[in-house]
Structure 1
């Protein structure tokens, strides 16, 4: 790697690792230097700059755009003016060096045109607080003297690059600037100097706010809107989450994230919160993820679940009408179509903040950006008056043709994208295979198991907490089941898909089956799946988005195998629950189906726990031959693996069988005695 590029990546990672400097995927950095042109063998001046869509904290060489500096700067000669400056983004492609690396971003001009070897453009809360203050220009002079220059708001683009380049030329003493309504830019002759200047601006702004700012910029505590106690707060959040997610998914499905941090709860408890929230966010990175403003529940913390849910539905209707009016006020004939009128941020006083997006990471980051916005409002109000960019400018960016093009380039979502699945007994065997397949198809997965450590280890196999979490769930205990459901909705906003897989078996003939044997198996499978389905159905109904419940039953639910009275009877119970719930829940768009596997030996927790040895003894064969034995008695002569059952779950819960409910699908390689009839 080129030494200059390596230096840039190291600086970027340091700056991006600290949230006080910039938000996730926010800002960009650059460096200018020389490398050898492989065509001429001569040195060539290059610009390395963070490409479109990257994140400073995790930036690697592949995330850099690489341009020839002479060609990039020559674009000044063909710049058609601010009314056509969007065309310049495509023109950057003609200045790329070699394969060019990542796609150049809209801020490339800022980095290329400024006469400094190293440039940082960041979105720190302290800097944006000054940038969004009503008297930001005066504050900039008071705080920084002539070392930092004020730049009035201008939409990111080629003209902004020209403006900053001119400011740098006209103010040789300056180390950076405050971009009105937006953020900061700093520069230096070395990478160390640029980083030092960036941090000095950020820290100086933060120190000034701390020393000179008002103590309570959000006003006094609003009586009745104080945070609920933690247990009550989480319980109310879990109860409201499905309702809120259903509202946020009116136009298109979303995944959610819940935050009840001190920063959020303090903001929600203050008298000025409603008026400040209504002003919306300012920095483009903020409102592109949070929408121009949040939806705010206007009831005190002690309002009942029923009252809160009813009011949220009323507010959602009003929010959608308000957003549609905002679109109509500013849309032009060539504006992209309205993308959706649902809120991305929902604030519930006393409880916390719900944020939404196309996946868990997007939802979480949206919440993080609104926390940034809260910090910005606090800083601006502490010194002055919070004055974000006006609504028309927000619309220009939200419905920017370049932003629309970026959205259109995104890959097609996977079949189970935005779906939230809970799988019981998922730390091994069929449950784990199902969880892995659901995650691979785009779902967020909650792995529920009796053993919490195993559940969490299994979740870690699937990826980060944005993909899967592990929770403890004793399915025989209604309170424990409700706790697992609550964890699921607080982690991902709701629930769409439940797989009743938890099970065990004791292979005994009738006269050796004890009452305890009978009760244990019926508690785990018949009662357990009933309790899980009941708790999940409440969430699915409150969401109003439909959903799927799948029972992993067994071919034994219809086949009278030997020495298996308790297990087979409880599987028959589960099989009929499928039929009963399919009828009862169909009016809510909830589909209920079952899968009847046979003899899944490899990877099975049930077989590993002694069941396999018992079944092998019943059939008079060695235990290691059990899988082969089961395969040979089937029509297809093939062994059934956990992955085969997982495949059936995917098909049953996917779009292809959207009109199927009450069905049992055999996954048994063909057992004639278990044919459904």
Structure 2
């Protein structure tokens, strides 16, 4: 038998290979295991161990730290004290007493399946092809036709200790079998070696795919529905962007959510088929699917060309009906000890001809929910191609959705950061103050849209912050009405909407009055006064559509108050911004939209404005070397400190992070103390 290091290395390699292909299993779905021996550090004797993917991990990215490690003798001894299916949830707590050493990751509910099956290596996966057989009305017969006696059928049973006993017994009774189809759920395969287990898993998955391709009937979802063909790409994405804030607002009735949009071909094909309303109403079947997508989606029942006003009104009606239906589902199956209802809003909203909107506590969760519904569509297609799609009963779905063990898993999640579920759009975020603000908001949990005239800078900052689940870059000239509208549309497609806008884009040209040209004046007013107005106007429209308020922050300047030499165009534009704060705070307060400002002074280090010539010009005005300008500004302050971009970012977070929730119309000086710029 291989040593511990080899066993673990082989298990990780197998898991990563299987998890890397979405045909094999979905994100964070399924688990793998290996049995082997190691030396007990207490007794110095060899003991049999089980290494199994722990709760909440993902096969494609699994590392040794994500494995739970258990003593096989103790795990198998649990068979003697198993109290039966009515109390089997108690067995998960018992797994903790089987851990070896520190035990690694928390054991999952499927641990019994892996430990009780005698074979050394076990894979439990959720391939679309396998679940299609598992959810077909005559899945047992189809499994026999597809595999003969090489793969056996296991009737639906909720994951747990008893399912592990069932599979272990079937594997023992069928020594010729390489695995099984779990009714309504997925597949499990096993092997004498890691390579054999992976080979058996892939054999089951590919054989089922081929069986469906060869035996399946055309148009499993029915013929196309007249008038429901997908809109052209430009039109459907424009409509998706227009609808996204409204849909996000509806899906956030109980708690704010981040959104994700997909117009994948598989979704559009499903939504133009005659049977899509009936099939969608049946809901998903595999527990991994409906835990993320809810038992069923909200489906718009209007054609793609319906007037947007009709679509908006109908979505509101359908949302109210969905919430009532979900509450009835909860009331029907909940018992006295069921967890409280977690929320009645849909996680998936389907709009024919346009695409799918999915929602979650963060962008990754929202995106993955959509991916799981694509899995569900593929499952329905396979089941309908061979037979009739027949998911598990709603009562069983409820038992899993409101399982005490699922509640315990949710309770282990880390506390959300202050800006979690918030989407921020920061202009001028490709450098300097804007870049620092974007980094800070992302660090506090926000999804961030990096808006900048310089596409390369915007992309670089987005990449620094993280992947597209955290930050996206948009190229925008803030003086362009069309480009601003497009930037907000891109934000809506990426994250569902926008909650927090920072008007930071700016530039400065330092000249005496008589040398200031009309172009100098117009350029600075176009970017700062006009740009802030246009951005705020678009933000207000979108925030009103969402219906849960928002924040608009202006990065103004000490110069909006303080009259200094040689900056009439810049100072006037900043004064315009400063008064926009007051005007919009007064106008938008009824919508729950707070508008505040930050007044920096002399942010030299990292500043795009200062690096582009403003620094040299101001240094000349004050008669100091340009490299000493930051120190010069610091010495003229009360605190004798240099103001950095990070200090401005701190102020933005202070205004938006929740501690100043009843503050609007305020300007916060971040200037290290300039008495002449005190607010009066």
User: TM class by shorter-chain length?
Assistant: over 0.9
What SS does the corresponding residue of 1:2 show, helix, strand or coil?
helix
Once the two structures are TM-superposed, the CA of residue 42 in structure 1 deviates from its matched residue by 1.9
Aligned-residue offset at 1:655 = 1.1
Q: Give the gaps of 5 or more residues in structure 2.
A: none
**C-alpha distance in 2, partners of 1:511/1:612?**
20
Structure 1 residue aligned with 2:222: 219
Q: Deviations over 1:417-445 (max 9, x none)?
A: 00000000001110000000000000000
Write out aligned runs for 1:98-113 (5 A): 98-113=101-116
TM-score of the pair, normalised by structure 2: 0.99
* In structure 2, distance between residues paired with 1:356 and 1:87: 32
1-structure distance, mates of 2:42, 2:542: 63
Distance (whole Å) between structure 2 residues aligned to residue 504 and residue 93 of structure 1? 60
Q: Deviations over 1:150-199 (max 9, x none)?
A: 00000000000000000011111111000000000000001111101100
TM-score by length of 1: 1.00
For residue 208 of structure 2, the aligned residue among 205, 208, 231 is 205
Between the aligned partners of 2:474 and 2:163, the Cα distance in structure 1 is 50
Partner of 1:600: 603
Q: Does 1:74 align with 2:65?
A: no
**1:269 is the counterpart of 2:272:** yes
Which is further off, 308-317 or 281-290? 308-317
1:115 aligned to which of 106, 113, 118: 118
Aligned mates of 2:11, 2:659 — CA distance in 1: 48
* Map 1:405-554 → 2, pairs under 5 A: 405-554=408-557
Among 583, 586, 594, which residue is 2:586 paired with?
583
Residue 374, structure 1, aligned to residue 377, structure 2: yes
- Return structure 1 stretches of 4+ with deviation > 6 angstroms: none
**2:19 matched to which residue of 1?**
16
1:389 matched residue in structure 2: 392
1:95 and 2:103 aligned: no
- In structure 1, runs of 5+ residues without a counterpart are none
Match of 2:658 in 1: 655
Match of 1:357 in 2: 360
Q: Which residue of the partner structure matches residue 175 of structure 1? A: 178
Is the counterpart of residue 321 in structure 1 residue 324 in structure 2? yes
SS of match in other structure, 1:112? helix
CA contact (8 A) 1:496 1:547 kept: yes
Partner of 2:612: 609
- Does residue 300 (structure 1) correspond to residue 281 (structure 2)? The answer is no
Alignment of 1:160 onto 2:163: yes
Question: Counterpart in 2 of 1:291?
Answer: 294
Residue deviations 1:282-318, cap 9 Å, x none? 0000000000000001110001222111110111000
In structure 1, what is the Cα distance between the partners aligned to 2:147 and 2:296?
A: 31
State which of 243, 253, 256 in structure 2 corresponds to 1:253.
Answer: 256
2: distance between equivalents of 1:428 and 1:215? 54
User: Which secondary structure state, in structure 2, belongs to the residue aligned with residue 655 of structure 1?
Assistant: coil
1:564 aligns with 2:567: yes
Q: Within the alignment, does 1:242 sit opposite 2:234 as a pair?
A: no
Report the CA distance between 1:409 and its aligned residue: 1.3
Given the alignment of the two structures, is residue 668 of structure 1 paired with residue 671 of structure 2, yes or no?
A: yes
Q: Which moved more, 1:31-40 or 1:280-289?
A: 31-40
Provide the C-alpha distance between the structure 2 equivalents of 1:585 and 1:300, rounded to a whole number of angstroms: 35
User: How much does 1:41 deviate?
Assistant: 1.7
Partners of 2:259 and 2:13 in 1: how far apart? 33
Whether the aligned pair in 2 keeps the contact of 1:2 and 1:35 (CA below 8 Å) is: no
Structure 1 vs Structure 2 CA RMSD: 0.6
User: 1:54 maps to which residue?
Assistant: 57
CA contact (8 A) 1:48 1:66 kept: yes
